[in-house]
Chain A
Amino acid sequence: MQKEDTVKLISAEGFEFVIDKKAAMVSQTIRNMLTSPGSFAETQLGEVTFPEISTTILEKICQYFYWSMQYASGKETEFHIEPELTLELMMAANYLHT
């Protein structure tokens, strides 16, 4: 995979998730960060740090990005969310506009 096709999402604990750029673009917030003009660190390095999102939640978010792309292409499966994650995941989703 080409480096420019991926982005690195970093959780509060410093855990790094490398995912497809177009998957990350499911989030309007990340899309804005990566495509905004100027030389923000995010745009340059393809790295975004989320100091308020824990590793567990960020992993779930990444899963959602891929599920969402599949869903859009017609593969209608269920996205399972554990009830104990709902509150934090909801807040992260709200922040990421996804």
Chain B
Amino acid sequence: MEIESRLVRLCIESACRSGDAVKKWRMQRRTLEHLPSPLADALLRRLLQRRLLSPSLLEVFKICVEEADLRGEISVDAEWMAYLGGFRYLRCLNIADCHRITSSALWAISGMANLKEVDLSRCAKVTDAGIRHLLSISTLEKLRVSGTGLTADGIALLASLSNLLVLDLGGLPVTDKALKSLQVLKKLQHLDLWGSDLTDNGVILLEKFPRLSFLSLAWTKVTTLPNLSSLECLNMSKCTIKSILGGTGDKAHLAKLQIAGATLLNEAEAFMHIEPSFLTFLDASHTQISRFYFLSSMKSLECLDLSSSGIGDDSVELIAQIGGNLRNLNLNNTGVTSSGVGILAGYVPNLEIFSLSHTSVDDIAIAYIGVIPKLKAIDLSHTKVKGFIDYGDAEPDKVYTLMALQSLSSLERLNLEQIYIQDDALCSLLDFPGLRHLFLQSGYLTDLSLHHWSSLHCLKTLGFRDAVLTNQGLDSFKPPVTLELLDLRGCWLLTEDAILLFHRKYPRIELKHELIHVSASDHPLSNFPSKSQFKRTPPVNINSEKLFLSPTFVDQRLKYNRGELLALQYSSLSLQPNYGDGAIFKMPTD
């Protein structure tokens, strides 16, 4: 849960500033006992992020913490678990990806009275013996053990946890027999069996779970799924599918279906038994489907992913027929062209996210996209869009196409990476006051277009990659105050110093470049970022490393104006052998 109060957040920051700060409050036992659990949970999380948490410090939280989220923390081991076992009101324990957790470490949490959720995902050292320790926690409602060392025998033991609502057995050798022993879990609503050894014989047993609403059978040998009347979400990605939900009884109100990368033996047969009117989400990406007639009755679809499928302009008509509710449409890497976009444009009044990356759409499509009124995000990367239409001699002036997007008042995100776009074609984007994320990547971009973006007042992310951007160009760029991330990867003319100088001026902006990665400063007030904020990519430049050793060191570039600095640079060329400290006069040769 995110803490809303700013003062609470400031307090947590202050409490977690250093080990000494922790010492100042950790003895306040009575106060800690009264700490409301959302605050205690947030404090614990922040301590963990700041690497200040140790088993002995855990002890002070034993009364107040209800949710302990320690996932991915490599130091968590049996000693930590011993303290966590003493947390009297612990309701939720997440130790996913804590690789030092063993079966015996779980002994500490056996019999905990209030524990409802446990996540042990990918703790590979937890085996059947470890699961036995959990069986005494009868309150358990959610258990995630995907990717652990459990065998079919261990899985069968879970049958005694009769309150389970959510069970994630992903990547485990669940056999038909093991599933049979789990039938007694009548409350089960969510069952994840991806990558299991289940077959068509075992899958019939799923009818015994009367409340099952989420089921994943991805990466299994299952081909035929019987009718499960309570089912709402189904994942059969990477399966070979014969039929879904065939059989008698009440039809399932399936709302979400994922069949990414699946092989459909016969499209018509596979979809025949699905009640199409409830389906709001369909992911059929990376399938070999070539006929899409099944789409025609799915009138409620809000999210449709057909990327890398066999769809082309001839089937777009079918999407147009059911386009009324569509919000998110992904046609990346398909045969759809500009004329396909033309067919669609008038029939998707609610479309918010439209992806056409890696297709052959060109500038003609932009005019069509401009009439889809509610668009918030458009992805036109890796397409043939150029930003203008050249009519040759007939019309001497270029016709800029991105203008057509100006009618889209809600547009927030625009991806134009890897297309041959030039500075002049981008000028029309300046009239998008609401644009928050803009991604550009083209070798034709120069200093000129970077300066345009100063006037976009909501811009948070700006990708300006592979451009012919000079140090001077970056230096004179005045980023909008809202900017959080500036991606300059591939701007090969920039030097490390120029990027650092920019960071010094705008410490709140995170910068990405091959030479250096600068995160936004945690404390906006400090003028000098600490050394740890710089993640370097090799080769490390020893000279500028020295610049940050002393917090009082004044960068020479701030002391001199540009002309003086240039003079200094050249003087250093001749004088360099005499200077011991090369940090001040760094050669612009790299």
Contact = CB atoms under 8 A, between A and B. Distances in A.
B45 to A, nearest CB: 14
A68 B6 CA distance: 9
A4 interface: no
B7 A86 contact: no
Contact of B525 (A77, A84, A88, A93): A77
B5 A87 contact: no
A98 B12 contact: no
B12 A90 contact: yes
Contacts of B6: 68, 98
Given A93-B7, A94-B39, A87 B524 contact: no
Contacts of B25: 83-84, 86-87
Interface residues of B, number: 27
Contact of A78 (B5, B8, B34, B523): B523
A93 B11 contact: yes
A91 interface: yes
A27 to B, nearest CB: 9
B7 A98 contact: yes
A98 B7 CA distance: 6
Given A76-B524, A77-B525, A90 B8 contact: yes
B24 interface: yes
Contacts of B15: 83, 86-87, 90
Contacts of B74: none
Nearest to B17: A83
Given A84-B24, A98-B5, A90 B11 contact: yes
A1 interface: no
B35 interface: yes
Contact of A87 (B7, B17, B20, B32): B32
Task: Tell me which of A80, A88, A90, A93 has the highest count of chain B C-beta atoms within 10 A of its own C-beta.
Answer: A90
Nearest to A95: B36
Given A78-B523, A84-B25, A93 B8 contact: yes
Q: Which of B7, B14, B20 has the most CB of A within 10 A?
A: B7
B10 A79 contact: yes
Nearest to B34: A91
Contact of B39 (A76, A78, A85, A90): A90
B448 interface: no
Contacts of A91: 31, 34-36, 39
A77 B38 CA distance: 28
Between B8, B12, B24, B31, the greatest number of chain A beta carbons within 10 A of the residue's beta carbon is seen for: B8
Interface centre among B14, B22, B31, B39 (most CB of A within 10 A): B14
A1 to B, nearest CB: 25
A64 B7 contact: yes
Given A83-B24, A89-B7, A89-B11, A94 B36 contact: yes
B5 A93 contact: yes
A74 to B, nearest CB: 11
Nearest to A86: B15
A86 to B, nearest CB: 4
A84 B14 CA distance: 9
B523 A87 contact: no
A94 B5 contact: yes
B21 interface: yes
Nearest to A84: B24
A88 B14 contact: no
Contacts of A97: 5
Nearest to A92: B7
Contacts of A90: 7-8, 11-12, 15, 35, 39, 43
Contacts of B38: 94
Interface in B365-418: none
B506 to A, nearest CB: 14
Contacts of A85: 11
A64 B11 CA distance: 11
B28 interface: yes
Interface string B185-201: 00000000000000000
Contacts of B7: 61, 64, 68, 89-90, 93, 98
Nearest to A78: B525
A98 B525 CA distance: 22
A80 B13 CA distance: 11
Contact of B10 (A76, A81, A84, A88): A81
A86 B34 contact: no
Interface centre among A79, A85, A94 (most CB of B within 10 A): A94
Contacts of B20: 83
Interface string A9-22: 00000000000000
Contact of B14 (A61, A64, A77, A86): A86
Q: Which residue of A86, A89, A94 has the most chain B CB atoms within 10 A of its CB atom? A: A86
30 contacts: A61-B7, A68-B6, A78-B523, A78-B525, A79-B10, A80-B14, A81-B10, A81-B11, A82-B14, A82-B24, A83-B20, A83-B25, A85-B11, A86-B11, A86-B12, A86-B15, A87-B11, A87-B25, A87-B31, A87-B32, A88-B28, A89-B7, A90-B7, A90-B11, A90-B15, A90-B35, A90-B43, A91-B35, A94-B39, A98-B6
Given A80-B14, A90-B7, A98-B7, 7 more contacts: A83-B15, A84-B24, A84-B28, A89-B7, A89-B11, A90-B35, A94-B36
For the complex of A and B, list the 7 residue pairs with the smallest distance between their C-beta atoms, beginning with the closest. A93-B7, A83-B21, A83-B24, A86-B15, A90-B11, A81-B14, A84-B24
Interface of B: 5-8, 10-12, 14-15, 17, 20-22, 24-25, 28, 31-32, 34-36, 38-39, 43, 523-525
